[in-house]
Amino acid sequence: MIKKDLSDFRVYMGIQLFTAVISILLLLFLDFGGFYYYDYYYKIHNYGYISFGSGIISSFIVLIGVAGFLMVIRSSYFLLKEKKISEKNIKDNALKSIQGAVIPLILSVVAALILWVTNLENSWWLDTGFYAAFFGGALIIIFSKLTLKILE
């Protein structure tokens, strides 16, 4: 059996940690998406957005995404602090990171579907918060899968 250098996995964990921190900052401080409605006949202009602080449900969606990324940060940070790491700890970290990253990934898709269904005839868009949650979650899952594949 080939002896694996477990210190190489610190790079993957560092990338996961960095991705989670950036995703949290983007989720908290930038918009997740929005909509615009204009009715020419009734002269109605209406617009809105989803972000932290724009409403109870919007804030709840953003906070659940942040909680998922905090799970990734917690598992990666404590493992990075350890001087000696084992294969079991790395596997546990990868699985916890996948669990934590799936939450914002699913929530971003659900929020996009809600925007799409509720604003079919209107203009709607996805903003930076959506992409932070979606691609941040996907990157963390990819690096966790790479870690698990190398450990096999």
User: Is 45 contained in some domain?
Assistant: yes
**Can you state the angle between helices 128-151 and 87-118, rounded to 10 degrees?**
150
User: Is 37 contained in some domain?
Assistant: yes
- Domain of 114? 6-151
pLDDT per residue as tens digits for the range 91-138? 888 888 888 888 888 888 887 887 778 766 678 888 898 889 889 888
Question: Any residues with CB less than 8 A from the CB of 132 and at least 6 apart, and which?
Answer: 22, 23, 26, 27, 30
The CATH number for 106's domain is 1.20.140
List, in sequence order, every residue forming a beta bridge with 44; answer none if it has no partner.
39
User: Is 78 contained in some domain?
Assistant: yes
Instruction: Please state whether the predicted TM-score (pTM) of the whole model is above 0.85.
Output: no
Overall number of domains in the chain:
1
User: Is 147 contained in some domain?
Assistant: yes
pLDDT of residue 42: 82
Report the first-to-last Cα separation within the chain, whole angstroms: 11
User: Is 120 contained in some domain?
Assistant: yes
User: Is 1 contained in some domain?
Assistant: no
User: Is 66 contained in some domain?
Assistant: yes
User: Is 143 contained in some domain?
Assistant: yes
pLDDT per residue as tens digits for the range 135-152? 988 898 888 888 888 877
